A and B are shown apart, each in its own frame.
Chain A
């Protein structure tokens, strides 16, 4: 691996920023996003020779891999958190800091917007995975509906209705929260 193949290097140079920023949108934590970026590129390296460019563009493929990794990571973290809660019930000594929820640590958020975006993400994180994805792709990644539909493997109509539902749910959650 001293001479990594050129294609992989090119893909890394072109898409690493996309993967890192998308991971940050899902996890809002620098260290977690770095871990996800690493895992995504290892996956890309393993699957690059199997990838069919006629079926989808490299960008869409990378989007899909990153989203799946982020959602799996969140699911695994929630399971660990639940398990930690159960062990905490039975043990008084398990007040370790590693069981705590990681704080909002998004390097792309300016200090003056930090509080509001932190509240907004707190509520976005409570949405079902599909609704969270549609908000991130349309509003953070600024993808259009066609691109979002392609990435999510849905029709444009389905993306539209998913976004309406996501907005409705988010509004309900934000109304309950006085900070926003």
Chain B
């Protein structure tokens, strides 16, 4: 068996094709253009979360104080819209 495996020692070492280094550098260059640094990624994620939190807090504040509901009704009235489900003015 050792003899058979010794056959593997007959494999010659070959040189790397010369174009490969240029190909790697090109790939690295392209990769760097698209990759955003982790600091920037965290910064963007934080900004997005802050924006969402701000929206949620404003909505929650208005909803709990009832202001939001009144404002919607006022807007519906000013536009001549019904604020109830009675669409055909049924008098029953």
List B residues 6-39 near A (Cβ within 8 Å): 6-17, 20-21, 23-25, 27-29, 31-32
Q: How many residues of B contact A (CB 8 A)?
A: 26
Q: What is the count of residue pairs linking A and B with beta-carbon distances less than 8 angstroms?
A: 78
Q: State whether A41 and B15 are in contact (beta carbons under 8 Å apart), knowing that A116-B7, A171-B1, A180-B4 are contacts in the complex.
A: no
The reply to whether A109 and B11 form a contact with Cβ atoms under 8 Å apart is yes
Q: State whether A24 and B14 are in contact (beta carbons under 8 Å apart), knowing that A12-B21, A41-B24, A45-B28 are contacts in the complex.
A: yes
Chain A proximity of B7: nearest CB distance (Å)? 6
Q: A167 — which chain B residues lie within 8 A by C-beta?
A: 1-2, 5
Identify the closest chain B residue to A112 (Cβ). Answer: B10
Chain A proximity of B1: nearest CB distance (Å)? 5
Write the A55-73 contact mask toward B (1 if CB under 8 angstroms, else 0): 0000000000000000000
Question: Which A residues form the contact surface with B (CB < 8 A)?
Answer: 1, 4, 12, 16-17, 20-21, 24-25, 34, 37-38, 41-42, 45, 106-110, 113, 116-117, 120, 135, 139-140, 142, 167, 170-171, 174, 180
A-B contact pairs, 18 of them (CB 8 A): A1-B25, A4-B25, A16-B20, A17-B15, A20-B20, A38-B23, A108-B11, A108-B12, A108-B13, A108-B14, A109-B11, A110-B12, A117-B8, A117-B10, A120-B7, A139-B6, A140-B9, A174-B4
